[in-house]
Every structure is written in structure tokens, then in C-alpha cells.
Amino acid sequence: MRLLHWPDEPANESRLDMEKQQEESGVLYQVICASFCVIAVLSNMISVKMVKLPFFADFNIPAGLFTYPLTFLLGDLVTEVYGAKKARLMVYIALGMNVLQFVFIQVALIMPASTPEEQKAFEAIMGLSGLRIFSSLTAYIVAQLAGIYVYALIKRWTNSRHLWLRNNGATIVAQILDTVIVDIIFLYWGLNMGMDRVMPIMVFSYVFKTAFGAANTPLLYLFVYLIEGRRRWPSRAAKFENLAS
């Protein structure tokens, strides 16, 4: 009886391999999405600390500037592997997490502290202004969605060739929008800083984030290679087994 059914076995094994591959792919997407959300939320939180740069007198930048560009790397990775729809979903989820974080912090600020000193210390660290949150989230949603759109557009134009081109092209466009929006709204309009002070900050932030994105291009190649290689391996193994049988 087994001999009558042996042709169906490779198909069943191939189907099981495909189901396992889809399950692993879903788990990996969840891990990337969770990492994206954590980085996006923590980048806003640690931005209250200004970091003094070496070789630049009287020039400080938010600490979050060192971590936030990683979100664009993960956004490009998800767009490349899972598509623009999944990348946009990840961006929206992180936006919701940022809003939730802001709400929780505001509730914690309202709650009575054990001592006035603790309350003042907590407010000094966690008491982000509404304008700062608005400028940050506006820049975030516009830049992230624009980056995903440009990445997918270049990928379609180049017929999925030149990964480095769509990675850096999307970064250039997204970082222009992110830098201009957040600095104009918060620094120029909110803090009434003159353009003579805002412009150097904008230029440095843009150059830093763009250079950071370019430096991450080899990492994107590595991640895509590992994920796509993992996806192709089960199908290759199934083909080999079919030929061997």
C-alpha cells in the first residue's frame, strides 16, 4: 500500500516545509517589528539628554540621534523582505507605542510623588513638552512613510537590482524630511531660535543621519542575504530530495 502513495510524499513534505518557513518568517517579522518599536520609543525618551560632541565647541545633540537612524535600517529591511505594506504597519504600530508612552508619562507626572524633590527630578527628565512630542511624531510618520515609498519605488524602477541605491536613496529623502520638520517646528517655531542657530543643527543632524544610513548599507546586505537564504533553503532541499528519489 505504501508503494501506491509514495509520489504524494514529496508534495506533503514540501507543503510542511512551506508552512514551517511561513511560521519562521512571521516570527522574524515580529522580532524586527518589536525592535523597531523599542528603538523608536527609547530614542524619544533618551533625547532629553544632550550629548556634547568632541571637536565641536558649544555644540550638543540629542542622545536619541545616535539610535533613531536604526529605525530606517529596519524599515528598509522590512520593505525589502516583506513589502511596503508590512513596513507601513510596523511604522503605525510604533507610532501607537510612542503615543501610549506619552500618555503613561503624563499620568505618572500627575500622580503624587513621595517627596517634592523626586517630583521635580522626574519632571526634569520625563516632562517632555507637547510641542516636542508633536514635532517628533510628525517628523517620524512623514519621514518613515516617505522612506518606505521611495524605497519601494526605486526597487520597482530598478527591477529589484542595486540594493545600495534604494537604501541610500530612501535614506536621503527621509532624512531631509525628518530633519527639516522636527527642527523647524520645535526649534524655530517652538523655541523661537533664529535660523542662524537652527541651520547648523539641521545640517549636522542631516549629514550625521545620512552618513549613518550609508554606513549601515553592508548590514542591510547581510540581513537580506541571511533572511532570503533561509527562505530559499527549504525549497532547494526539497528539490534535491525529489531528484534523489
Query: How do residues 51-89 score in pLDDT, each as one tens digit?
Result: 887 776 677 788 888 999 999 999 999 999 999 999 999
Give dist(CA 84, CA 152) in Å, integer: 7
**pLDDT by residue (tens digit) across 29-46?**
999 999 999 999 999 888
Quick check: 163 and 79 in contact, CB under 8 A? no
Structural domains of the chain sorted by starting position, each given as residue range(s) with its CATH number in brackets: 20-237 (1.10.1760.20)
Q: What are phi and psi of 158, to 5 degrees?
A: -95, 5
Higher model confidence: residue 223 or residue 131? 223
Residue 239 CB: number of other CB atoms within 10 A?
12
**In the prediction, which pLDDT does 22 show?**
67
* pLDDT for position 50: 81
Decide: helix, strand or coil at residue 60.
strand
Spatial neighbors of 133 by CB under 8 A, at least 6 apart, are 44, 102
Q: What are phi and psi of 50, to 5 degrees?
A: -95, 130
pLDDT band for position 236 (50/70/90)? Answer: very low
Beta strands in the chain (DSSP E): 50-52, 60-62
Give 240's pLDDT tier (boundaries 50, 70, 90). Answer: very low
Supply the pTM of this predicted model. Answer: 0.83
Number of CB atoms found within 10 A of residue 139's CB: 21
pLDDT for res 30: 95
